[in-house]
Amino acid sequence: MDASRTIVVTGAAGFIGSRLLRTLSDRGRDLVAVDRARGPARPGVRWIESDLGDPGALLEPLGGRTFALVHLAWDTARTPRYAAHADHVHRLAGLLDAWPERGAGRLVALGSAEELGGAGGVLDEAAEALSPFSPYGWGKRAARALADEWSGRSGAPAFWLRPFIVYGPGQRGDQVIPYAIDRALSGGRGEFSAGYQRRDFVHVDDVVDAIVRAVDSPLTGWNEFHIGSGTKVAVREVVGEIADQLEARDRFVFGARAIRPGEPEIQVADVRHARAALGWVPRIGWREGVRALCAEARAAAAPPRTPQGTPHGGAGGR
């Protein structure tokens, strides 16, 4: 792919989008960043404030130049409302409808392991999804079908990357790792399931690397890849590592929450296809990534210090 081609990133101010934008900006790429609110200024980045409700107006500033669309915009709060996720599918459809007349290049979009529902084991791209599906998983499944159909009709290459459990710096929300870190730093009680289910935790920087490789890949047509660490680890082991790093063992309670109905015992990515086709390999192990994340969170939560190295407030502070 021509490295000078414009890359449009939706959800650019989000958890994954902001990391991707930084990486591509550092590499000198021409970027259009789209989100409801502007993120930090970076070299080579033009910001457009949009909720994707008017895709024609969104694409107009590109002036007909060929571009790649990296579609990350989605509500990751796992809302229980199907309508919320149907709205995201609708907005992607609007972008794809408006695209052919304005420089169609390629689509790179993120799915989710939740598309697989209750399917268990080491799962490759041909794995059969099994009910039940969360509203979030259902929405991603619908978006994937839309992207596949669009690629076939338009002839433009499309890449559907299906990351398993993504974590890393800047993540917020109710997923297990940010929740555990928040509970540990706040001094509150952390409530978890028994945690014996084994999952695949993949660092956000490995996910970003996969996205960049898809943007630059010479592959054509429809392409689908599982993105994960390729290793399974019990959720309680990951939470236990966070508890040890942030001294919260006495406040973390396992078994306080029920496991979701139909949740598989094991769900881990088979990443051989991504390795062979994209040359992508995960580089950050879960323990290394979690320890670094805890260290960063602990440093960010520490009280500010004076130039002499004394915490503000001195000996008389409360």
pLDDT digits (tens, 9 = 90+) for 11-59: 999 999 999 999 999 999 999 999 999 999 999 999 999 988 888 777 7
Residue 261 has pLDDT above 80, yes or no: yes
Q: What's the pLDDT at 260?
A: 86
Query: Which pTM value belongs to this model?
Result: 0.92
- Scanning 155-284, the segments in alpha helix (DSSP H) are 176-186, 204-216, 235-245, 272-278
Q: Residue 297 region, left (φ>0) first, then alpha (ψ -120 to 50), else beta?
A: alpha
Q: What's the pLDDT at 306?
A: 58
Q: Which amino acid is at 203?
A: H
- Report the topology of domain 6-301: Rossmann fold (3.40.50)
Cβ-contact 15, 204 below 8 angstroms: yes
**pLDDT digit string (tens) for 165-174?**
999 999 998 8
Residue 317 has pLDDT above 80, yes or no: no
Confidence of residue 5 (pLDDT cuts 50, 70, 90): confident
Q: What's the pLDDT at 104?
A: 57
Between 146 and 84, where is the model more confident? Answer: 146
- What percentage of residues in the chain have a pLDDT greater than 90? 75
Cβ-contact 144, 155 below 8 angstroms: no
Q: Mean pLDDT, the chain, as a whole number?
A: 90
Of 91-105, 122-136, 191-205, 262-276, the poorest mean pLDDT is in: 91-105
**pLDDT digit string (tens) for 103-153?**
558 999 999 999 999 999 999 999 999 999 999 999 999 999 999 999 999
Q: Is 21 exposed, middle or buried (0-12, 13-18, 19+ CB in 10 A)?
A: buried
Token pair listed for 166? 């993504």
Confidence of residue 287 (pLDDT cuts 50, 70, 90): very high
Q: What is the 3-state secondary structure (H, E, C) of 73-122?
A: CCCCCCCCCHHHHHHHHHHHHHHHHHCCCCCCCEEEEECCHHHHECCCEE
Q: What's the pLDDT at 316?
A: 36
Domain boundaries, the chain: 6-301
Helix (H, G, I), strand (E, B) or coil at 266: strand
> What span, in angstroms and rounded, lies between the C-alpha atoms of 68 and 53?
19
